[in-house]
Structure 1
Amino acid sequence: MAVAFKYHAKAQSTFEPPLIANENAFLGDVDSSDSYNPDKPMSAGFYRLEKGTPLVYEYTYDEMKIILEGKFEISDETGQKVTATPGDVFHFPKGTKVTFTTPSYGLAFYTGQRAKGAA
């Protein structure tokens, strides 16, 4: 049985993720496999952070993220700290506690092993 792929034209420039934390952290799933693969769902979307309050987040699932625009300062509880710029790719294993900040703004695309809206 053939299954059609899904297409989200110009999602990087047209999708507006909702505010999820503080006054400056936005995240939204563009698509998810949870409707047809509920046992092993995967969701993907965009994360935008604007200058302001740092976002501290503990991952309850595995996630990978690629920086698309701007700049992030990303640190974890181990003392690791990175200045992230476009093209950088991150893997945040389940259990990782990360702090995100930015001097201006940053936009990233992520894929997480979770159901839609479960971030």
Structure 2
Amino acid sequence: MPMTHFSQAIKEPQPSMNRPGSNAWLGDVTVSKDEDKTIVGGFFRMEKSDAPLVYEYTYHEMKIIVEGEMVITDETGYSVEAKVGDVFYFEKGSVITFNSPSYGIGFFCGQRREGEG
């Protein structure tokens, strides 16, 4: 089948990332069938938390903010107050810190296998 449709996928509940003090959820919605260069797409949700989420990327990822707002900071200290429509590229090996003053949702596309990360 050349096309697959996931109606209102943004509304599906995502599993917790189980990081103490951080209200963050991440879920894969779809995965490619290419075994050599697998890509996964899904949603990341972050709510205001006691602690930020610090994430080390073991793969390349693109993310677009689709709802709310986040503060995204890399290991050099470069920080962006991310708003709806902002697009990010996270290079494999980077350490990124996510936080939100309220909540934010990002759609991601990562070069990894389903469930990894």
Aligned partner of 1:11: which letter?
A
Map of 2:41 onto structure 1: 44
Could you list the structure 1 runs, at least 4 aligned residues long, displaced by more than 3 angstroms after superposition. Answer: none
1:91 to partner: Cα distance = 0.3
The within-5 A match list for 1:1-119 is 3-12=1-10, 14-22=11-19, 23-33=22-32, 36-52=33-49, 53-119=51-117
Write out per-residue CA displacement over residues 38-79 of structure 1, whole angstroms, 9 at most, x where no aligned residue: 111000000000111210001010000000111101101111
CA-to-aligned-CA distance 1:3-43 (integer Å, 9 cap, x gap):
4311101112x21111013251100000001xx31111000
TM-score (norm 2): 0.93
Structure 2 unmatched ranges of 5 or more:
none
Q: What SS does the corresponding residue of 2:17 show, helix, strand or coil?
A: strand
Q: Which protein is bigger by CA-based radius of gyration?
A: 1
CA RMSD of aligned residues (A): 1.0
Aligned residues: percent identity? 49
Q: Structure 1 length normalisation: TM-score?
A: 0.91
Counterpart CA distance in 2 for 1:79 and 1:20 is 24
Q: Which consecutive unaligned segments of at least 5 residues does structure 1 have? A: none
Residue aligned with 1:19, SS: coil
- Describe the SS at the equivalent of 2:67: strand
Aligned residues: 114
CA distance in 1, matches of 2:12, 2:63: 17
Separation (CA, whole Å) in 1 of partners of 2:24 and 2:97 = 12
